[in-house]
Amino acid sequence: MVEESFKTSSGKSRKRIAVIPGDGVGKEVIPEAVKVLKAAAAACGREIHLTEFDWGADRFLRDGTTLPVDAPEMFRREHDAILLGALGDPRVPSNQHGADILLGLRFKLDLYVNLRPCILFDERLTPLKNRTEKDVNICVIRENTEGLYSGVGGFFKKGTADEIATQEDINTRKGVERIIRYAFEFAVARGYKRVCMSDKSNALAFGHDLWQRVFKEVRSEYPGIESSHMFIDNLLMQMVRDPSQFQVIVTCNLFGDIASDVGAGLVGGLGVTPSGNIHPGRVSLFEPVHGSAPDIAGKNIANPIGAVLAAAMMCEYLGWNDIARGMEEGVRAAIRERATTVDLGGALGTRAAGDWLENKVAAC
């Protein structure tokens, strides 16, 4: 654990941020996001206290540590937010540490909202023809604590020819209702006009029947929002064909995981999109949507923008809208001026892209 207090001259309100770079490109993009965050905080006269945790594959392979049992309580007590890179390493094929740390924090901190905006900052970043930000501005709101991720299931006769493996899809009324309600409240607060709920109730006749019934109840409370339903298979096809149909999409844990990668593909790839794991009013966790990207890790080519925008989302969550806006404006300028990594058509390495953003937000 490394602690660092970063004080600015005036320091209006101090926020305590836990930083978990994790594995692979997480260890490259998070230092850049932290650099940009510090510069933006300094420009706005804010004080942050950073505490870094070395949880990830190296630590797991060294001493077996994943998520310490007291970690959730420690974060609730001592931190305002968590900034995480990515978890996943080819040396840990079971991804046990990733599941314990990332899913562990989502579940144990009850971070039931996974907010994944997919915004087209520049039309040259989409594989679609003639599309601008007004056509591709989708927020995927993913249920984050239930569904097929609940960890309920098991093996019977494992490793034999008669093996049975089960994986239960857990959907609770409370869980489904709170995420659907969050989606409508989010739409109202952000001025979005449309909410689309996506499920697979034509095949999953119990769990997703609950989603159907709860959606009908909750939507009736928001007559000002145009609400619709689409089965997930059609939704993913429609997102690619004509993303302008969608503003807010609310869906279950697994479908939201998939839809948010599809959304990323529409706006420049996984290097660009951020994610907030949120329980309103409580310590929440922010991360890029991408993983540890072992194929490009250690080469100084990973795009830090997803991590920078995750840090910006974190600032917005903490009430630092000025810093969040400054960071997003910096990202828009970097994309406009092609001061980016190669995935977005630039020629900069990860560190140089971070330096550029750092200088840009410092001058805001």
Which residues of this chain interact with ligand NAD, rule CB under 6 A? Answer: 25, 29, 86-88, 95, 98, 102, 270-271, 287, 290-296, 302-303, 306, 343
User: Please, which residue, 42 or 115, has the CB nearer to Mn ion?
Assistant: 115
Q: Which of 80, 100, 112, 149 is catalytic?
A: 149
Q: Identify what 37 binds: ligand NAD, ligand IPM, Mn ion, none; CB under 5 to 8 Å per kind.
A: none
Number of Cβ within a 10 Å radius of residue 335: 20
Q: Which of 100, 112, 257, 360 is catalytic?
A: 257
Mark whether 149 is an active-site residue.
yes
User: Please, which residue, 289 or 318, has the CB nearer to ligand IPM?
Assistant: 289
DSSP assigned state of 147: B
How far is the C-alpha of 331 from the C-alpha of 306, rounded, in Å?
10
Burial code (b: 16+ CB inside 10 Å, e: under 16) for 82-100 equals bbbbbbbbeebeeeebbbb
Q: Which of 200, 222, 242, 360 is catalytic?
A: 200
Mark whether 193 is an active-site residue.
no
Pull the structure tokens for residue 164. Answer: 């049975």
Asked if 308 contacts 138 with a C-beta cutoff of 8 angstroms, the reply is no
How far is the C-alpha of 359 from the C-alpha of 35, rounded, in Å?
10
Mark whether 200 is an active-site residue.
yes
Burial code (b: 16+ CB inside 10 Å, e: under 16) for 261-298 equals bbbbbbbbbbbbbbbbbbbeeebbbbbbbbbbbeebbe
List Cα–Cα distances, 7 to 48, 219, 220, 235, in angstroms.
7, 46, 48, 47
Pull the structure tokens for residue 77. Answer: 């007590």
Q: Identify what 122 binds: ligand IPM, Mn ion, ligand NAD, none; CB under 5 to 8 Å per kind.
A: none
Find tokens 């149909």 and name the residue.
245
- Residue 302 Cβ, how far from ligand NAD at the closest point, in Å? 4
- Residue 172 Cβ, how far from ligand NAD at the closest point, in Å? 24
DSSP assigned state of 98: H
Q: Choose, by CB under 5 A, the member of 257, 287, 316, 358 that binds Mn ion.
A: 257
Contact flag: residue 287 with Mn ion (CB under 5 A): no
- Residue 257 Cβ, how far from ligand NAD at the closest point, in Å? 8
Mark whether 233 is an active-site residue.
yes
User: Please, which residue, 262 or 352, has the CB nearer to Mn ion?
Assistant: 262
User: Please, which residue, 18 or 48, has the CB nearer to ligand IPM?
Assistant: 18
Q: Interface residues with Mn ion (CB under 5 A)?
A: 257
Positions marked catalytic: 149, 200, 233, 257, 261
